[in-house]
Amino acid sequence: MNSLILKIRRELKENSDEKTRKSSQNFFKERITCHGVKTAIVQKISKEHFALLKGRPKREIFDLCEELWRSGYIEESFVACNWSYSLRREYEGGDFKIFEKWIGSYVSNWASCDTLCNHTVGEFLQMYPGHLAELKKWARSTNRWLRRAAAVSLIVPAKKGKYLNDILQIADLLLLDRDDLVQKGYGWMLKAASQARQKEIYDYVIGKKSLMPRTALRYAIEKMPAALRKKAMGK
């Protein structure tokens, strides 16, 4: 199966261009490693090669995902994320540790973090909510990506009005975090939750606004009516 990974890497390099490589860096404060391939082309390559894996055991495909993650290239991480999400009907409780390892060992930018957590991890948590407690451990991690992951893994469930108590507990744990990407992550989580639970999120924000960093606060209230946003941002 290493030949498949080599083929993917060859196709990514063949579809790379210097303009995309340079412009990709503009979205990140930290340095990223990228081939310079447009997202639509990455998606196409990912889909075409996943079709070749039909019938292969999940464990084998996860091993290939890990090999892609290990490269450090952002496009290869997106392929890995697409593949792991495509296996969602086969998730088992033990897969959580695999996803945790990928975040802790390989994630190095917000895009890879969010792509994995919004889809793969978010779907897993809806299937196995007993693992929500693990997110609170992530929120206490020294690894900024695990802390961001603790919040952004709940974006999709939050929009559905799920797991409000867990969302507020994670927001509490991340409340004073000094990392702006973590602040944006939990602010985004609160914003998503406000779409289904506006009153509860508004009350939370008002109760915490003297402590909450303005970055997180602005994200959290973004979807609320103008009058509520104005009151929340007031002194």
pLDDT of 1 over the 80 cut: no
pLDDT of 208 over the 90 cut: yes
Name the pTM for this structure.
Answer: 0.96
What size, in residues, is the chain? 235
Give the model confidence (pLDDT) of 149-198 as tens digits: 999 999 999 999 999 999 999 999 999 999 999 999 999 999 999 999 99
Which pLDDT value is given to residue 235? 72
Give the model confidence (pLDDT) of 20-58 as tens digits: 999 999 999 999 999 999 999 999 999 999 999 999 999
Round the average pLDDT of the chain to a whole number and report it.
97
For residue 33, the SS3 value is strand
**What is the arithmetic mean of pLDDT over 130-149?**
98
Contact 126, 148 (CB under 8 A): no
